Structure 1
């Protein structure tokens, strides 16, 4: 976490604000492109998918264009899930801060790209290309859900809009589902995406030295402390007032005020009456 603090001070100005909104926007563009592909008969995904073989031959746009591939077909369930992920993502952005959320999402994207190139060099261009078409941000979205569950384990979601379930139990089911998929699927690109998403989650949460910094309870405690130490003053309210003449800091920029230690009570005086007033006993 100290490393992240240093990185934020150095590169924080490049942070993408409201990153979750742009992720959803990429999906919308992806669905539009798929619809156009169905109309024209041109398979758009062939030009979008993360293919190391094509990237090494100059098609470098594929390093980012695969982010346009939607996690699933467009239907009512997908719309509900995207709305849920938008809510979870924006909540994490507010809790962690934009920079740390950027690092988490971009870390998942980068690990997926690295995994795709490893598969290419291990399996060869022909065998690896078959599985590359399956690569999308589906498992990165699942890692967002796991991150939210780790931050808010006792928050309840309504399963099927009826049954209240703590989100931590749904996270356990997600992990079990990922493990099952990893064992069952013969496609190594899917296994690679599962490893990338889980590895990103594990590194972010367990390899940092100060998890409490992004813990929601700790964030709330710091916010309450800051409000108590630096309360917001209502318009027209002054901080200082002389007990003799009634002058405040608004009556002059150079006025100084001090409390008198010899008076019984918290009496404050301006510089003209600090040593000339009668002590209150």
Structure 2
């Protein structure tokens, strides 16, 4: 069992269900505020570290209200897109992992803001970090999860998610290169969040040396197997795929000798030392 699986067993029950619905409500509030006067956000709600240190601690939460677009039409589209992408990711990943992805991203940006303040001082008050790049990284995570999904650009041109993600990465890299230190931090930390999450959730056993060696040995054995002989055989009951084509077989990593077991005995057999 991996680290995330253990963590989810311990604290997974505390994950917020339908998190994207609540975030969309917050974005909608921020969008409404931006339509009234965007300065309200910067004066009272943004991630302004000096003001946080002076007592305005609510900014640690309210900075997430940032609305990237003040156009009603495009703003509404972005809110709809955020909600659908996030909801689908939560449905596939589970509430715990989607919570982890979003909150880890917010945490990295908050820590980054304090580090920037320690280095550059009041500069971060004039150009505070926003969650814009983190919100866009939701699409990047969606594209990795659903690479073949098609989006209709301008409601007409169908383009697969993996190609749009590539274009998005090019834009982010270009913005990172030409942007100032705040832009670099916002983009860099958001992409770092994606990379960390990807590394934590990747199935490393599949590419581990032990599993690769096991696959090579299996392929060699399959080549010299006489015609008509079964491929799989349970070390407990002796059944093969010829006895029941619905049976699934797995090797046990704790047993010596690369023994294979059917699904009925994989977790109930006595390990061979």
State the TM-score, normalized to the length of structure 2.
0.71
Corresponding residue for 2:172?
Answer: 178
| Counterpart position of 2:30 | 30
SS in 1 for 2:40: coil
1:154 aligns with 2:151: no
SS of residue matched to 2:47? coil
**1:64, CA displacement in angstroms?**
0.6
Measured after TM superposition, the shift of residue 36 of structure 1 is 5.0
Matches of 1:209 and 1:91 in 2, distance apart? Answer: 19
Deviation at residue 2 of structure 1 after TM alignment: 1.6
For structure 2, the residue ranges without an aligned partner over 5 or more in a row are: 207-245, 248-273
Q: Distance between the aligned counterparts of 2:31 and 2:48, measured in 1?
A: 20
Please report how far the alpha carbon of residue 158 of structure 1 lies from its aligned counterpart in structure 2 after TM superposition. Answer: 1.1
Shift of 1:59: 1.4
Higher relative contact order (CA 8 A, sep 6+): 1
RMSD: 2.2
Q: Tell me the alpha carbon deviations over residues 44-65 of structure 1, each in whole angstroms, 9 at most, x when there is no partner.
A: 4311010111112221111111
SS in 2 for 1:82: helix
Partner of 1:83: 80
Q: Is the contact between residue 85 and residue 139 of structure 2 (CA under 8 Å) also seen in structure 1? A: yes
- Relative distance call for 1:144 and 1:211 in structure 2 (3 A) is farther
CA distance in 2, matches of 1:123, 1:3: 36
Q: Hey, what does 2:127 align to over in structure 1?
A: 131
1:141 maps onto 2:135 in alignment: yes
Q: Is the 8 A contact 1:157 1:166 kept in 2?
A: yes
Q: Shift of residue 121 of structure 1?
A: 0.3
Match of 1:198 in 2: 191
Structure 1: segments with no counterpart, 5+ residues: 214-227, 230-281
Note the alpha carbon deviations across 1:151-189, whole angstroms, 9 max, x for none.
111111111111111110000000000011111122x22
Structure 1 residue 211, shift from structure 2 partner = 6.9
Q: Secondary structure at the match of 2:67?
A: coil
Shift of 1:82: 1.7
Shift of 1:97: 0.2
How far apart, in 1, do the equivalents of 2:148 and 2:96 lie?
A: 25
How many equivalent pairs are there?
Answer: 208
1:165 & 1:31 partners in 2: Cα distance?
Answer: 28
- 2:127 aligned counterpart, secondary structure: helix
Q: Deviations over 1:190-240 (max 9, x none)?
A: 211101110011111124452799xxxxxxxxxxxxxx99xxxxxxxxxxx
1:48 aligns with 2:42: no
Runs of 4+ in structure 1 off by over 6 angstroms are none
CA 212–105 in structure 1, closer or farther in 2 if over 3 Å, else same: farther
User: Matched residue of 2:155: which SS?
Assistant: coil
- Does the Cα contact within 8 Å between 1:31 and 1:74 map onto a contact in 2? no
> What's 1:210 paired with?
203
Quote the Cα distance in structure 2 between the aligned partners of 1:129 and 1:175: 28
Is the radius of gyration larger for structure 1 or structure 2? 1
Structure 1 counterpart of 2:241: none
CA apart distance, 1:150: 0.4
Do the aligned residues in 1 keep the contact of 2:16 with 2:99 (CA within 8 Å)?
yes
Distance 1:59 1:212, change over 3 A: farther
